[in-house]
A = this chain, B = another copy of it.
Amino acid sequence: MTLRKTLLAAVAVAASAFSVQALADKTYTLRLAETWGPNSPILGETTKHFENLVETMSGGRIEVRIDSANKHKAPFGIFDMVRNGQYDMGHTASYYYKGIIPNAMYFTTIPFGLLAQEQYAWFYHGGGMELMQKVYEPFGLMSFPGGNTGNQMGGWFRKEIKSLDDLKGLKMRTPGFAGEVMSELGVAVTNLPPGELYTALERGTIDALEWVAPALDFPMGFHQIANYYYSGWQEPGAEVQFLISTKAWNKLPEDLQEIVRVAMRTAAYDMYIQSTNDSAEAWDKMKEQYPQVTHKVFPPEVIDALRETTHRLLEEEAAKDPLAREIITSQRDYLKKVRKWTNISDKAYLNSVADQ
């Protein structure tokens, strides 16, 4: 009997109590904090999907424990909690941390920026991942694409926007960089917690608001108050984010690192595809049940002003910091190239089959 056979015999004796697999394999726990509340559609489904992928592929050697915002109470504190070791991972959005790291803003989406597939191409082939790591590495963190919402809508308006003048004094909820741009055009920008939006719009505390896209807008009920639903300019492909601490990452053996990396990548793509499906479903139902809802596009003078302002504000950011300039330039140059291709492929096709 060889040593191998002897050992196998010993293993067989023990087989009813525990498996060789369990003996051989150390197990790991990844504690993940998400910005979203419990059972959040699309976003929360993405972390659960990630958990299932990791646990099944690792044969149970990794356990993912997800805490939603109701548990950790810090929806916009994910960056800090992963940095200080309270959690190993996070699922959040890079642009929420603009206050701590100004350059985090560019890795979610920017106004007049890249579409989802163009942005994935920038991340994986145009230097985007390397630039994102440059920003997160000093904090002991790694950042990965975490799922795309698809193109976000420009928002719900109670009155039609026919000119730049119609924006002046308009009270609108629109946060972040897009809010800064709108503010430059005379919009009275406010931010309100999600739970107050419906009532604020109904009572006229605000005249307009921007949320996400039909999949997440429909459950909020805004279409019952505002009739005009505008196409977007401000978040053409918002990519949320997986954060993982380098310390937690380095504890994993190579095969489990790859399982985690690939699970994040697939879960991110899958979120984009789910968003596409769910917004298509929601828009279809909304149009059927609420025929008064009217789709609009902003007039060219409004789009031009928004774009000029966006470019001016980005130029101001670039002037402040060399890394900001490097990121902004990389995205702008990549967009110029990839958009030419999108224009002769998908755009030309969509325009040629206009009535479909």
Contact = CB atoms under 8 A, between A and B. Distances in A.
Interface of A: 3-4, 7-8, 10-11, 13-14, 17-21, 23-25, 53, 56-59, 112, 115-118, 120-121, 124-126, 150-151, 153, 213-214, 229, 231-233, 236, 253-255, 258-259, 262-263, 265-266, 269-270, 272-274, 276-281, 283-284, 287, 295, 297-298, 300, 303, 307, 335-353, 356
Given A266-B262, A352-B303, A272 B117 contact: yes
A7 B22 CA distance: 12
A187 to B, nearest CB: 18
B14 A283 contact: no
Given A277-B121, A349-B231, A356 B341 contact: no
Contacts of A25: 21, 24
A331 to B, nearest CB: 12
Residue of A56, A283, A284, A344 ringed by the most chain B CB atoms within 10 A = A344
A278 to B, nearest CB: 8
Given A57-B259, A121-B273, A112 B341 contact: no
A105 to B, nearest CB: 20
Contacts of A259: 57, 259
A280 B114 CA distance: 13
A41 to B, nearest CB: 13
Contacts of A58: 255
A53 B340 CA distance: 32
A257 to B, nearest CB: 9
A345 B279 contact: yes
Contact of A262 (B57, B117, B351): B57
A345 B150 contact: yes
A129 to B, nearest CB: 12
A117 to B, nearest CB: 5
Contacts of A277: 121, 124-126, 338
A247 B347 CA distance: 43
Contact of A284 (B4, B297, B337): B337
Interface centre among A13, A17, A112, A347 (most CB of B within 10 A): A347
A2 to B, nearest CB: 9
| Top 10 A-B pairs, shortest CB-CB distance | A59-B255, A231-B348, A151-B345, A125-B277, A20-B24, A280-B341, A121-B277, A280-B338, A56-B258, A269-B269
Given A153-B345, A295-B344, 6 more contacts: A11-B23, A117-B272, A214-B341, A229-B344, A231-B349, A351-B351
A10 B10 contact: yes
Contact of A21 (B24, B115, B117, B213): B24
